[in-house]
Amino acid sequence: ELAKKGIDMMDAPVSGGEPKAIDGTLAFMVGGKQEIFQKVKPLLEKMGASVVLCGGIGAGNVTKLCNQVVVAVNIAAVAEAMMLGQQCGVEPEKIFEAIKGGLAGSTVMNAKAPMMMDQNFKPGFRINLHIKDLNNVVDAASNYNSPIPLTQSVLEMMKILRRDGDEACDHSALVKYYQKLTDEKLHH
């Protein structure tokens, strides 16, 4: 209907949060027609460091869901590893310092491990919003019969945190799930 009137559409979700929005380095995941993408790409490049056409309409949204899976599972892995190391007698700061320069290092780890060690869960991206996104992942996976056991595990952890009143915390508060299991807080 819109196309008949000369109106085109694209989906273009972003990743990077407020800090990357402020400094113009967002990652755009775009879905739509190639010719429309070429027209809007210069505008998106003013706001983002990465602008990728992922496929037709909807592909940007699917890619954003995939992004949220990687972020959620990465945060849970960082929390689990940091707590394991601390319980085995290694200082979390040393674990972070040693791992961040290797293959396991990541943007997520660099952003979230210090928050975990500081017990600073001031929201950047809230747990309740990540739950919403992961529920959308579950729906998409169900529609395409795609297995997502890691995502489902992390989603359950987040739901427990929501039940315990932590839904407005930053998603780095996933470490609280492990802290409750061990009755020990991650520290510097």
Residue 39 domain-assigned?
Answer: yes
My answer on whether 108 and 131 are in the same domain is yes
Phi/psi of residue 9, nearest 5 degrees? -135, 150
Q: What is the pLDDT confidence band of residue 137, given thresholds at 50, 70 and 90?
A: very high
Residue 151 domain-assigned?
Answer: yes
Total structural domains within the chain: 2
Residue 188 domain-assigned?
Answer: no
Residue 75 domain-assigned?
Answer: yes
Q: Which of 188, 52, 165, 50 is nearest to 117 (CA)?
A: 188
Q: Give the pLDDT confidence of 40-63 residue by residue, as tens digits.
A: 999 999 999 999 999 999 999 999
Residues of the domain holding 7:
3-56
Residue 25 domain-assigned?
Answer: yes
Residue 187 domain-assigned?
Answer: no
My answer on whether 33 and 86 are in the same domain is no
Q: What is the pLDDT confidence band of residue 2, given thresholds at 50, 70 and 90?
A: confident
Label residue 5 exposed, middle or buried (CB < 10 Å: 0-12, 13-18, 19+). Answer: exposed
Is 20 catalytic? The answer is no
Q: Which of 20, 64, 112, 176 is catalytic?
A: 64
Beta bridge partners, 55, equal: 31
My answer on whether 51 and 80 are in the same domain is no
My answer on whether 72 and 139 are in the same domain is yes
* Nearby residues of 67 by Cβ (< 8 Å), 6 or more positions away: 15, 27, 29
- The residue-averaged pLDDT of 82-90 equals 98
Query: pTM of the entire structure?
Result: 0.94
Task: Look at residue 3 in the predicted model and tell me its pLDDT.
Answer: 81
Mean residue pLDDT of the chain comes to 97
Q: Which pair of structure tokens corresponds to residue 15?
A: 């990743």
3-state secondary structure of 30: strand
CATH code for the domain in which residue 98 is found: 1.10.1040.10
The answer to whether 34 touches 54, Cβ cutoff 8 Å, is no
Q: What is the pLDDT confidence band of residue 188, given thresholds at 50, 70 and 90?
A: confident
Amino acid letter, residue 90? V
My answer on whether 132 and 176 are in the same domain is yes
My answer on whether 136 and 83 are in the same domain is yes
My answer on whether 101 and 38 are in the same domain is no
pLDDT of residue 18 exceeding 90, the answer is no
The answer to whether 72 touches 134, Cβ cutoff 8 Å, is yes
- The residue-averaged pLDDT of 88-109 equals 97
My answer on whether 157 and 105 are in the same domain is yes
- The residue-averaged pLDDT of 25-50 equals 97
> CA 108 to CA 89: how far, in whole Å?
24
My answer on whether 35 and 115 are in the same domain is no
Residue 126 domain-assigned?
Answer: yes
My answer on whether 162 and 105 are in the same domain is yes
Q: What is the pLDDT confidence band of residue 127, given thresholds at 50, 70 and 90?
A: very high
Q: Which of 50, 40, 51, 47 is nearest to 23 (CA)?
A: 47
Task: Look at residue 154 in the predicted model and tell me its pLDDT.
Answer: 99
- In the 3-class helix/strand/coil scheme, how is 127-157 assigned residue by residue? HHHHHHHHHHHHHHHHHCCCCCHHHHHHHHH
My answer on whether 81 and 174 are in the same domain is yes
pLDDT of residue 64 exceeding 90, the answer is yes
Residue 116 domain-assigned?
Answer: yes
My answer on whether 91 and 157 are in the same domain is yes
Amino acid letter, residue 16? G
